[in-house]
Structure 1
Amino acid sequence: MGIPDRGLLDWLDEASTERGLYYANDDDGWDFWSYRDLGRLVLRTAAALRANGIGRGDVVALVQRSSPGFVAGFFGALAAGATPCSLAPPFAFQRADEYEKHAAHLLRTVRPGAVVCDDESLERMAKVAAEVGLGAPVAFDGLVADTEPLERPLPVPETALVQFTSGSSGFSRGVRISAEALRTNISGMGTWLGCAPERPAASWLPVHHDMGLVGFLLNVVVTGFDGWMFQPDDFIRSPLRYLRCLSDRRIVMTAMPNFGLSYIARRVRPADLEGLRFDALRAVIVGAERIDPRVLRDFHALLGPHGLDRGALVPAYGSAEATLAVTGLPPGEGWSTGRPDTAGDVASLAGTAVVGCGRPLPGRTVTIVSEDGAALPDGRVGEIVVSGVSIASGYVGDTGSASGTSLGERGLRTGDAGFVRDGQLFVIGRLGDGLKVSGKMVFAESLEALLHERGIPERRVAVLLGVRDGRPTAVALFAAARPGWRRTAHEVLSEWLGDAELLSAEVPRGGIAVTSSGKPRRRVIWRAVCAGEFPSALGPLTAD
């Protein structure tokens, strides 16, 4: 049973001294911030922003890791009547030049009245801000130093969040999320998951991504339950520490993309889990990217002997333009797979059953439409269109995109392909990442799933599909390929792509361009390939 619907800043009036956020520190311990202390820091931040000229209608860009300062920056902007916007810090990018280009685009898009950084990001952001003609960013600690808190928060602005899309098809787009949309999305998630103050949660997700921000942090703070917070690189270094937290703290809810489950299954041995228990977990939310049923099975095989219920694995679907959550499987129901009708125009790849992402949350409607916009019956593949509450108000600045996602009178056209079966949504992949072969659409994500099943790990291969020089073409892009991978890719791609030209390229490990949320930037890489600007040599993909 969830808590009653509440406003975004109501928690400030009810801030507990007993509950709050626990931040993992370098000593294998935790730094605790009660909601009472966080609330005071929020009002100090609001006062500091107001003193620095920030008012209603201004955007406050936050370039911070998950921290008490980020919580204060986000809710402090709201309490000052301004609009927060979370930008990826430099740690999310491997190359400095890519980060600076990305950050400059975001700053030009939102033109923030203030840029608030943590110490780690300050120097890099000062350079970027100067390049785009903005004032110098300020470190959070310096912003709030010697500042007395506001007595009361100001009214929340109409736009409560500018949220950037992942940018998998090009530059990220800023999405305007109203206070009502943000509130109803958090409320809808609370109803779906049964969130309540007595049910603790844990996360390693970055707060610059909608799943980590809206799906976890804002949900936790507005609801008022204990949150155990890791950095993403904490999780990468030691997934076992994260699992120990789930066990020791009797965590009820956590969330991660498919990649996180796969990483745990690869890095953690059954013997490492001796003495741990996961029977308190009732919701491991899985989203943000296509979900692999093999990964769900492997994760449950690892943790199931230690009490994890299969029904605790909760696939979901959402997007930045929908604030976040659109559909989700109820905890306890148990995930299932399905395949589209074979009479449709999508190739049903053997061995690539699609994981169901649940049914629409209250107040949301999901429709599958054809290319001409006509609604399709159950089982037929088409574009996923979302309507109802918590849809974004619009885009900031340039609305153009190669992704196919758009907002209009009929709702959100997601640019994603999927089908509905008995009310449940099954997501296949991006429409822009597919290729028609003999009248059937084949999706890059489906081919990658087959490659993963054949032993090529996630994030070590990306499949690019499109028409190049008038000919259907596929590129298998490997990150530090191992012997046999090209042969495997040739077998899979040649079977499903007919007479398409098959090419391959290799980059160093970690060299596949990804978004700040870790998705392959397929359209960006494809455009570089077609323009002859891809830095790695292309060659035929052969079985040799």
Structure 2
Amino acid sequence: MGIGDRGLLDWLDDPSAERGLYYANRGDGWDFWSYRDLRDLVLRTAAALRAREVGAGDVVALVQRSGPGFVATFFGALAAGATPCTIAPPFAFQRADDYERHAAHLLTTVGPRITVCDEESQERLRRIAAVTDLPEPAVFGELVADAEPSDGPLSLPETALVQFTSGSSGFSRGVRISAEALRTNLAGMGRWLGCAPERPAISWLPVHHDMGLVGFLLNVVVTGFDGHMLQPDDFIRSPQRYLRRISEQRIVMTAMPNFGLSYILRRVRPADLEGLRFDSLRCVIIGAERIDPRVLDDFHALLGPYGLDRGALLPAYGSAEATLAVTGLAPGEGWSTREPDEGDAGSLAGTVVVGCGRPLEDRTVTIVSDDGDEVPDGQVGEIVVSGVSIADGYVGDAGTASGTSIGDRLRTGDAGFLRDGQLFVIGRLGDGLKVSGKMVFAESLETLLHQRGIPERRIAVLLGVRDGTPTGVAVFAGARDGWRSAAHEVLSEWLGDAELLAVEVPRGGIAVTSSGKPRRRVIWKALCGGAYEDTVRPLTAEDD
């Protein structure tokens, strides 16, 4: 059995005392937890959960920041035969009422036997429990305080993870991931990236999100290599700390969305990099949102003089319904861009799209038309995935708003095209508008606006038919001079005779998912319902 084929709990059999997880502390140091110490904490947690009569068929909800307690609760739930389910802690939301509404929906959907939280989340979860039938939350430290380690893990549950989707199309949906699907996805990523115990990794991604959880934390722990963990707000405060750690520890692997690269470009200058080296990095996985080719170019231009190889930048594509990874660029290959062919399916013609690599082993990606027929190479349609690690289904009422469906194949609801076996992802099919017979996608327009200087998270583009009229909307979060005219230039060019509107919200006022994606359909519904009546106005070429 290769290292990439390890079962989810095999690491408990012979944990290393030398390797483990390093957590950034409140100073400038790092706290080390060896896998041997983590094993003890996992088995104490399993025993504590069993003492609470948690077992097979039960769900354990985790509402915790990244830390040893999160690792112990996740693997402790599995060791107790239960199913872990990760839910964003309050730090991921700016408004308390938004968080409580979001978390209450998720917790009610999954119906946990117990919710294990950290002290930071306790009070919010108590308020949720007071107005629902959910049990009072248990603080991790109190849960395990007097527990002795169990003798060993029970059999794995059939469902090894309930993973919520990002919720960009409405409320998040709980996806049931089997133990075999989770294992095969980790194994596929391990072989794609060449994961090995001697190759350390680093992440600042939130562990409640599939990219931070499956793509990083579970991959690191199950494989058994050193993982260096920052909180998301650590990275926001000081991306320099993250980059220093890469250089000092000769980190091989990391991952982030396009936003992370862009944020480093805004906050880091060449003078901040003097004395640092990035030639150890061979895998910078980039996914979770549309990738801007200019950001890739600029990121390499910034770090390249300090050793970063262009071939280390690895665009990838995945989804919660596929457990995570679907396609990825091979290390060392070097990313490329392509334009789709003309056709009835259409796209944002003339816009280059970054390739997200080829399907991982035992996965197949096809592109289909509205009728479900496979389209030729280069033509745009819906991305359909088949093969291993597809989810078993949804928890509760799956709904249909997102356009994603699970059956023999995964209908992703995403638009893209294939070229020479490589996947090029454009955006959500439900976030588009047909103009002169071709689909224009909101994410494509946002990419053009970012290239004109409007930062990520400061604008969202909405497309749809409002009162019978094709409409494009630019939602600005704290607009600056020149932004409205730039948005008018882009939207009027690509949307033809559509009505163009501008909506002003305060900075931080764009509704986003727990992973930071705009909740376009939620904002669109609010717009059509009159929620922005006081701030909506025509989008013109002139700034006020």
Normalised by the shorter chain, which TM-score bucket? over 0.9
Per-residue CA shift, 1:195-238, capped at 9, x if unaligned? Answer: 00000000000000000000000000000000000000000000
Deviation, 1:249, is 0.5
Deviation, 1:129, is 1.9
C-alpha distance in structure 2 between counterparts of 1:347 and 1:178, whole Å: 35
Determine the structure 2 residue equivalent to 1:543: 541
Counterpart mapping for 1:229-248 below 5 A: 229-248=229-248
CA 273–535 in structure 1, closer or farther in 2 if over 3 Å, else same: farther
Larger displacement relative to structure 2 (154-163 or 399-408): 399-408
**SS state at 1:14 partner:** coil
1:391 aligns with 2:390: yes
Deviation, 1:348, is 3.5
Determine the structure 2 residue equivalent to 1:421: 419
Deviation, 1:345, is 3.1
C-alpha distance in structure 1 between counterparts of 2:533 and 2:272, whole Å: 41
Which residue identity lines up with residue 277 of structure 1 in the other structure?
R
1:208 aligns with 2:208: yes
CA 308–44 in structure 1, closer or farther in 2 if over 3 Å, else same: same
C-alpha distance in structure 1 between counterparts of 2:53 and 2:46, whole Å: 11
Contact kept in structure 2, 1:168 and 1:514, CA below 8 Å: yes
Contact kept in structure 1, 2:200 and 2:226, CA below 8 Å: yes
Determine the structure 2 residue equivalent to 1:430: 428
C-alpha distance in structure 2 between counterparts of 1:259 and 1:296, whole Å: 11
Counterpart mapping for 1:271-310 below 5 A: 271-310=271-310
Which residue identity lines up with residue 450 of structure 1 in the other structure?
L
Per-residue CA shift, 1:256-309, capped at 9, x if unaligned? Answer: 000000000110001100000000000000000000001101110110000000
Match of 2:514 among 506, 513, 516: 516
Q: Which runs of 4+ in 1 moved over 6 A?
A: none
CA 80–535 in structure 1, closer or farther in 2 if over 3 Å, else same: farther
Determine the structure 2 residue equivalent to 1:171: 171
Deviation, 1:60, is 0.1
Per-residue CA shift, 1:464-519, capped at 9, x if unaligned? Answer: 00000001001001111111111111111111111100000111111111000000
Contact kept in structure 2, 1:506 and 1:536, CA below 8 Å: no
Deviation, 1:12, is 0.2
1:328 aligns with 2:307: no
Identity over aligned pairs, percent: 79
1:474 aligns with 2:450: no
Contact kept in structure 2, 1:22 and 1:30, CA below 8 Å: yes
Deviation, 1:401, is 3.1
Q: How many residues align?
A: 542
Which residue identity lines up with residue 393 of structure 1 in the other structure?
D
C-alpha distance in structure 1 between counterparts of 2:487 and 2:45, whole Å: 53
1:445 aligns with 2:443: yes
1:503 aligns with 2:501: yes
Contact kept in structure 1, 2:345 and 2:369, CA below 8 Å: no
C-alpha distance in structure 1 between counterparts of 2:402 and 2:534, whole Å: 24
C-alpha distance in structure 2 between counterparts of 1:98 and 1:454, whole Å: 31
Determine the structure 1 residue equivalent to 2:524: 526
C-alpha distance in structure 2 between counterparts of 1:470 and 1:275, whole Å: 59
**SS state at 1:385 partner:** strand
Determine the structure 1 residue equivalent to 2:490: 492
Deviation, 1:535, is 6.6
**SS state at 2:112 partner:** coil
C-alpha distance in structure 2 between counterparts of 1:495 and 1:293, whole Å: 21
Determine the structure 2 residue equivalent to 1:371: 370
Counterpart mapping for 1:64-79 below 5 A: 64-79=64-79
Determine the structure 2 residue equivalent to 1:5: 5
Contact kept in structure 1, 2:344 and 2:437, CA below 8 Å: no
Contact kept in structure 2, 1:385 and 1:414, CA below 8 Å: yes
Deviation, 1:536, is 5.2
Larger displacement relative to structure 2 (447-456 or 62-71): 447-456
Determine the structure 2 residue equivalent to 1:101: 101
TM-score, normalised relative to structure 2? 0.98
**SS state at 1:61 partner:** strand
CA 536–322 in structure 1, closer or farther in 2 if over 3 Å, else same: farther
Which residue identity lines up with residue 506 of structure 2 in the other structure?
P
C-alpha distance in structure 2 between counterparts of 1:345 and 1:323, whole Å: 28
Deviation, 1:134, is 1.5
C-alpha distance in structure 1 between counterparts of 2:535 and 2:220, whole Å: 47
1:354 aligns with 2:353: yes
Which residue identity lines up with residue 219 of structure 1 in the other structure?
N
Per-residue CA shift, 1:156-200, capped at 9, x if unaligned? Answer: 100000000000010000000000000000000000000000000
Deviation, 1:344, is 4.2
**SS state at 1:272 partner:** helix
Which residue identity lines up with residue 407 of structure 2 in the other structure?
G
Determine the structure 2 residue equivalent to 1:193: 193
Contact kept in structure 2, 1:405 and 1:414, CA below 8 Å: yes
Per-residue CA shift, 1:412-466, capped at 9, x if unaligned? Answer: 1000000000000000000000000111110011111111112212211111000
Counterpart mapping for 1:77-156 below 5 A: 77-156=77-156
**SS state at 1:127 partner:** helix
Determine the structure 1 residue equivalent to 2:217: 217
Larger displacement relative to structure 2 (444-453 or 526-535): 526-535
**SS state at 2:5 partner:** coil
Counterpart mapping for 1:8-27 below 5 A: 8-27=8-27
1:318 aligns with 2:318: yes
Per-residue CA shift, 1:19-70, capped at 9, x if unaligned? Answer: 0000000120011000000001000000000000101000000000000000
1:183 aligns with 2:177: no
Contact kept in structure 2, 1:60 and 1:83, CA below 8 Å: yes
Deviation, 1:145, is 0.8
C-alpha distance in structure 2 between counterparts of 1:89 and 1:342, whole Å: 44
Which residue identity lines up with residue 305 of structure 1 in the other structure?
P
Deviation, 1:347, is 3.8
Which residue identity lines up with residue 202 of structure 1 in the other structure?
I
Gaps (5+ residues) in structure 2? none
Determine the structure 1 residue equivalent to 2:456: 458
Contact kept in structure 1, 2:4 and 2:195, CA below 8 Å: no
Contact kept in structure 1, 2:503 and 2:532, CA below 8 Å: no
Contact kept in structure 2, 1:60 and 1:112, CA below 8 Å: yes
C-alpha distance in structure 2 between counterparts of 1:204 and 1:132, whole Å: 33
Contact kept in structure 2, 1:505 and 1:536, CA below 8 Å: no
Gaps (5+ residues) in structure 1? none
